[in-house]
């Protein structure tokens, strides 16, 4: 049924429909509404799960790790500093091959403190062994969560999934969402039935010491599964379409890119703004398009290479930076793009700490990308803030 609901509510509804047994989280802006909604559902008896309040994100992640290891479907959500406090546990969850779903309400990382949206939090833990999916709108938010449990718990996968949704823009935005029925979700998502679980009647241990003779293979196994996921994710999208009647999720989506001379590659909610700008520029006769990356881990190298083949000018536009190097998405794309000296590949950094990205910002990038193959071009810099003068000194005379 179509409902006009907040993005955070869409997450809570999706999670509820997936029937988790344990939810644990520590509140952090802009993730808070998600777990507030879930806590209320549990308190009102609408969701038969245990909601565990904890003293930090490290504990929240540890708690859902433990719950999942005992064979219970679990959920947590966080943002920014919270995700980074979880970092150690995130690597453990993936290393233990535990299926789990986490929502990251993407937010900038301190210092200086900033509660607004960018992608630095999730990008910083991209090497943890988690599958990473990125939502463009509220329907994506709803549908990716339902798909994520199926993907994560698939016996061929057994890896955790992080759903990324832009803080405020999606978490606090309200939009029309088609909320599926419980029957549909039950048909799509079978009960969680792990290969192994911690059980006092059948004792075993998980995550025991693996020395130099064993550790390398554990990493190889995750890498190999990640590669398999590039085939499994499209299968899940097809299953989803059969039951829910719409195609959402997947690896990559192209928008008017087939005959384009210039494309922007991006992920998350900015894609909507890019699509609108592409339409305007197309009406003005410019051959432009967009490529939306939905899955960044595993990285869909082959599919992307195919989409970008023959496109003269490509710009990777991202809300994160590996300081001292490049935008992380740019580095990945640069690594897979077939060597073609006629192709220009550039990298633009936008929207850090919530700096607004308008259609004008995107137009500016479409104008610049044909002229350059520079990396890390910051868009929207205010030169007056870079003078090196101490603003307190100029105030002291008043």
Partner 1 sequence: MKEIRIHARAGQGAITTATILGHAYFAEGKFPYAFPYFGAARMGAPMNAFVRVDEKPVRLRSQVYEPDFLIIADATLMRGFNCFTGLKNKGVAIINEKETLDLKEVKPGQKVFFVPANDIAMETIGRPIANTALLGAFAAATNEFKLDSLIEAINKRFSENLAKVNIAAAQKGYEFISKATTYGAKRT
Residues found near partner 1 in the complex (CB under 8 A): 4, 115, 137, 166, 168-169, 172-176, 269-273, 275-276, 356-359, 361
Q: Which is nearer to partner 1, 302 or 356 (CB)?
A: 356
Residues sharing a CB contact under 8 Å with residue 278, sequence separation 6 or more, in sequence order:
255, 256, 288, 289, 290
Is the CB of 73 or the CB of 355 nearer to partner 1?
A: 355
Closest CB to partner 1 among residues 4, 220: 4
CA dist., res. 132 & res. 294, Å (int)? 8
Which residue lies nearer to partner 1 by CB, 234 or 380?
Answer: 380
**294 within 8 A of 267, measured Cβ to Cβ:** yes
User: What's the CA gap between 112 and 4, in Å, rounded?
Assistant: 35
Contact predicate 93/81, CB 8 Å: no
Closer Cβ to partner 1, 116 or 192, answer by number: 116
Closest approach of partner 1 to the CB of residue 247, in Å: 15
- Cβ at position 40, least distance to partner 1 in Å: 14
- Strand bridging mode 2-6 / 295-297: unpaired
Q: Three-state SS across 166-199?
A: ECCCCCCCEEEEECCCHHHHHHHCCCCCCCCCCC
Q: Least distance in Å: CB of 149 to partner 1? A: 25
**CB 33, min distance to partner 1, A:** 11
- The sheet with strand 22-25 has its strands ordered as 50-53, 22-25, 74-78, 101-106, 161-166, 131-134, 295-297
Q: Which is nearer to partner 1, 264 or 357 (CB)?
A: 357
Q: How far apart are CA 135 and CA 123, in angstroms?
A: 15
Token pair, residue 131, equals 């599958």
* HEC sequence for 209-253: CCCCCCHHHHHHHHHHHHHHHHHHHHHHHHHHHHHHCCCCCCCEE
Residue 94's CB is within 10 A of a number of other CB atoms, namely 21
Q: Least distance from C-beta 289 to partner 1, angstroms?
A: 15
Task: Closer to partner 1 by CB, 95 or 173: give it.
Answer: 173
Minimum gap (Å) between residue 186 Cβ and partner 1: 27
The Cα–Cα gap between 274 and 358 comes to 9
Least separation in angstroms between residue 84's CB and partner 1 is 20
Cβ closer to partner 1: 213 or 398?
398
Q: How far is the CB of 395 from partner 1 (least distance, A)?
A: 18
Q: Which residues, including other chains, have CB under 8 Å from residue 245's CB and lie 6 or more apart?
A: none
């Amino acid at each position: 049924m179509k409902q006009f609901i907040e993005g955070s509510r869409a997450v809570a509804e999706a999670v509820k429909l997936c029937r988790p047994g344990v939810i644990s989280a520590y509140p952090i802006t802009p993730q808070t509404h998600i777990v507030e909604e879930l806590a209320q559902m549990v308190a009102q008896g609408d969701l038969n799960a245990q909601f565990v309040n904890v003293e930090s994100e490290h504990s929240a992640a540890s708690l859902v790790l433990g719950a999942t290891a005992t064979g219970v479907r679990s959920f947590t959500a966080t943002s920014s500093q919270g995700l980074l406090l979880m970092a150690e546990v995130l690597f453990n969850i993936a290393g233990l091959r535990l299926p789990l779903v986490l929502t990251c309400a993407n937010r900038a990382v301190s210092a200086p403190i900033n509660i607004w949206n960018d992608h630095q939090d999730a990008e910083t833990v991209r090497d943890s062994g988690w599958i990473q999916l990125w939502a463009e709108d509220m329907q994506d938010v709803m549908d990716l969560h339902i798909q994520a449990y199926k993907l994560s718990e698939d016996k061929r996968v057994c890896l955790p999934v992080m759903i990324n949704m832009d803080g405020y823009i999606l978490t606090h935005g309200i939009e029309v969402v088609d909320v599926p029925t419980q029957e549909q979700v039950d048909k799509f998502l079978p009960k969680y039935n792990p290969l192994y679980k911690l059980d006092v009647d059948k004792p075993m241990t998980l995550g025991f010491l693996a020395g130099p003779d064993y550790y390398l293979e554990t990493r190889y196994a995750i890498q190999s599964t990640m590669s398999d996921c590039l085939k499994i994710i499209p299968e899940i999208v097809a299953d989803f379409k059969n039951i829910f009647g719409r195609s959402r999720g997947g690896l990559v989506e192209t928008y008017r890119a087939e005959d384009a001379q210039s494309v922007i590659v991006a992920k998350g909610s900015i894609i909507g703004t890019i699509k609108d700008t592409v339409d305007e520029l197309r009406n003005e006769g410019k051959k432009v398009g967009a490529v939306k990356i939905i899955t960044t881990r595993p990285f869909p190298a082959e599919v992307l290479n195919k989409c970008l083949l023959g496109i003269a000018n490509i710009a990777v536009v991202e809300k994160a930076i590996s300081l001292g190097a490049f935008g992380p998405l740019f580095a990945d794309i640069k690594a897979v793009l077939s060597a073609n000296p006629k192709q220009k590949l550039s990298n633009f950094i936008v929207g850090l700490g919530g700096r607004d990205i308008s259609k004008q910002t995107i137009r500016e990038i479409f104008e610049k990308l044909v002229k350059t193959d520079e990396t890390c071009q910051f868009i929207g810099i205010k030169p007056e803030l870079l003078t090196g003068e101490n603003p307190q000194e100029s105030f002291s005379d008043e």
